[in-house]
Amino acid sequence: MSDIVEATARTAQGTVRGAVERGVAVFRGIPYAAAPVGARRFRAPEPPEPWEGVREALAFGPTAPKRPYAPPLDRLLPDPEVPGDAWLNLNVWTPTTEAAGLPVLVWIHGGSLLHGSSAVPVYDGWAFARDGVVLVSVNYRLGIEGFGLFPDAPANRGLLDQLAALEWVRENIAAFGGDPDRVTVAGESAGAVSVAALLATDRAAGLFRRAVLQSGAPAALDPEAARGTTGLIARRLGVPATAAALAAVDPEALLAAQTGVTSGGNPLTGRNSFQLVVDGELLDRDPAEALRTGAASGVDLLMGTNTEEYRLWFVPSGLTERIGRLKLRLALLKFGVPNATARIYRANRPDATPGELLGALATDLLLRVPLNRLADARAGAEGATYVYEFGWPTPVQRLGACHALELGFVFDTLAHPDTMALTGPDAPQELADAMHRAWVDFATTGDPGWPSWDARRPVRFFGAEGTEGTDGPAVVLAPRDDELRSWERD
């Protein structure tokens, strides 16, 4: 006999009914904005319509239009789809709706701004609620719907969606036991890029007091560079690159054209993609510059990377083996890698193949170096900065400590089959206990359990080889500092 019972909460739009699952109240598919279809398509998000009576919140809401990850990543990164038009919805896991003042963590998923949703099982918020944190996970518009750049529509619509969700949290989270003044916003990969942009925009001021960047660095394109992908999709469809013209295209045809234009690359080697845009309104300057020069200086920040991020894209595709010495030299020229830097990385990895060497360089150039520079710039700021590195190597397909591997540990969802697709069945629970606890403590107190960043550059290593125990008590000062400093230019 089931022990699941109902739970209700009153939002500004009406009452929602969820369920109590294993002692945690769960509400799924709550609209935080109106469905972005019809006259609202390619427009800024608008408030949801209120409802009478009680709205069921038992199932995940519709996911934004997307295609699955291309093989072989589709087997490693399951990405469920839920049909429907009301994509702008969120989910809440809470210890109880009867409490007050609980810390809140708002999760913004990754997926290159093309994939992902809040329905991914790895992001189940039960463990956070079990440990006293209200977990909110958010859907937002993806691809051309959310990030295509048009002359007749606002830019960064997916980011506007995320802001609307945070504004909903500010207005409603007390009904779920959360404290609107104790909100942490967190994201991984493209979600972390989004969080960095939220940190950099004035409109987000006051919506959160802490932030987490996992495997994503501040970044945005100027409008001229950002128009390329939208233009290629419109050209493939034979229509002008305007919101009005593309709104008239069959949605499936638009999604097929988007997939055709954006497939074949990866976040490290590049290809046509969607990015945030310095639009002069929501983002008035590059987020990296804004954050290095004091934006969000009072916000506590936790950020870090996985040791071998590149292996998620390089290994399953066979790219690691296809890169020889000549391709490595050409790639170093393309990325502008200093010769001295390449020599240091090579000396530190005497057994690395050319593909592995390129992967290590690209990982640091695009992720570790900018995050360390941001940490350096924030040293001494009002808000504390904490840096971690995740180094546990998965046995699956020689992927090592690859991109996205840390997610099941942060959410403590190692037992779920979708998590095991990347971790395998025997991932160390004690490592999940340590990493999840650090995120809970950061959301609760602002202190994840190791020294904040200063001139010593302390980094908390999780599961790295050579640490004492799989959860590793190791805090390393200035790890691989010779490599980081080699990127510095006069």
Asked if omega into 72 is within 30° of 0 (cis), the reply is yes
User: Active site includes 188?
Assistant: no
Among candidate residues 309, 389, 406, 483, the one labeled active-site is 309
User: Active site includes 317?
Assistant: no
Among candidate residues 403, 452, 483, 486, the one labeled active-site is 403
Among candidate residues 137, 189, 452, 486, the one labeled active-site is 189
- Sign for the CA dihedral angle at 278, 282, 285, 290 comes to negative
User: Active site includes 321?
Assistant: no
| Residues labelled catalytic | 189, 309, 403
